[in-house]
Amino acid sequence: MLIRRAPRFTASEITDPKLYLSRRELISGTVAALVLRPGQSDGATPQGQPLSATRNAAFSLSEPATKFEHATTYNNFYEFGVNKDDPSRLGGTLRPRPWTVQVDGFVHKPKTFDIDELIRLFPLEERVYSLRCVEAWSMVIPWIGFPLASLLKRVEPTGQGKFVEFTTLLDPSQFPAQKPGFFGYSSLDWPYVEGLRLDEATHPLTLLTVGMYGKVLPNQNGAPVRVVVPWKYGFKSAKSIVRIRLVSEQPKTSWEKAAAQEYGFYSNVNPAVSHPRWSQADERRIGEFRRRPTLPFNGYADQVASLYTGLDLKKFY
């Protein structure tokens, strides 16, 4: 995105990815199996713990999913650094238990939910969505979660809140890039803040996500809870959320503060509107070499285009 980095080798360029991944999974899997039982928490949910959910076919692409090892090792999660392998290399410092999510603002019943309570409250669904990053790569992932609308309904919006603001954890002891002076420190204003209009947040596609590939969310993908908004560029899908707040004004997001002319509030996937520094007309699915055309609203136009009737999508990018 905004941040430039010095060229460097990644582990995958040195070792065959299959080899280093199987070693890494073997080690973490063995440790988890030895010291933790399901439901037991030591402050770090065992990576790879299974999470069952019913596939919602009506919301699932029929395309094959991106390989798990690609989806978990090529990420943006700037709290861990600016390189795509930083989140998987450094993600171990994040402690996804205990964890609470404060849901408040213009609601009649504000409440702080323990993450495990939240997971038990609503039936978990598996949905296969693609997520397209603003940097023109995309992935197809079987996410596990429940509609954000279900949670918002439960806290009873008062009607004054027109937007929903998401805030990621602020804790430099868990997120190295939040430490002042961190090498490669980006100009992002921590904590990471994102936002949606209320009708976007309550759209049936908007998924509050706690797992992927039949397992709890790995740290690098936003453990223990993130949002997935599949018709918008990936940066709208905030990770490791601690607060969801209904507000009356459009939230000031971290990327707007950093570079408003590049990253607008709406950020609907739009092949017709280029990023100031590159085209958005096509994309590369992680794991593929060919480029494919990017679809308006990332292929979800039938479901969401009506939310923007009358809105100039070039102005409100």
The site for ligand MTE (CB under 6 A) is made up of 1, 75-79, 131, 133, 168, 192, 221-222, 234-235, 237-240
Smallest distance from the beta carbon of 219 to ligand MTE, in angstroms? 10
Residue nearest to ligand MTE (CB): 234
Helix (H) or strand (E) holding 110: none
Please identify, using beta-carbon distances, which residue of 106 and 133 lies nearer to ligand MTE. 133
Please identify, using beta-carbon distances, which residue of 76 and 268 lies nearer to ligand MTE. 76
Please identify, using beta-carbon distances, which residue of 202 and 220 lies nearer to ligand MTE. 220
Please identify, using beta-carbon distances, which residue of 84 and 203 lies nearer to ligand MTE. 84
Distance CA 8, CA 212 (A): 29
Residue type, 160: Q
Residue 243: count of CB within 10 angstroms of its CB? 18
Smallest distance from the beta carbon of 241 to ligand MTE, in angstroms? 8
Smallest distance from the beta carbon of 47 to ligand MTE, in angstroms? 14
- What are the CA-CA distances from residue 304 to residues 213, 296, 297, 307 (Å)? 25, 10, 8, 6
Smallest distance from the beta carbon of 37 to ligand MTE, in angstroms? 27
Smallest distance from the beta carbon of 192 to ligand MTE, in angstroms? 4
Residue 167: count of CB within 10 angstroms of its CB? 22
Cis peptide upstream of residue 204 (ω within 30 degrees of 0)? no
Q: Pull the structure tokens for residue 21.
A: 């991944």
Distance CA 194, CA 217 (A): 19
* Residue that the structure tokens 């739009």 belong to: 270
Q: Pull the structure tokens for residue 291.
A: 């480029």
Please identify, using beta-carbon distances, which residue of 75 and 206 lies nearer to ligand MTE. 75
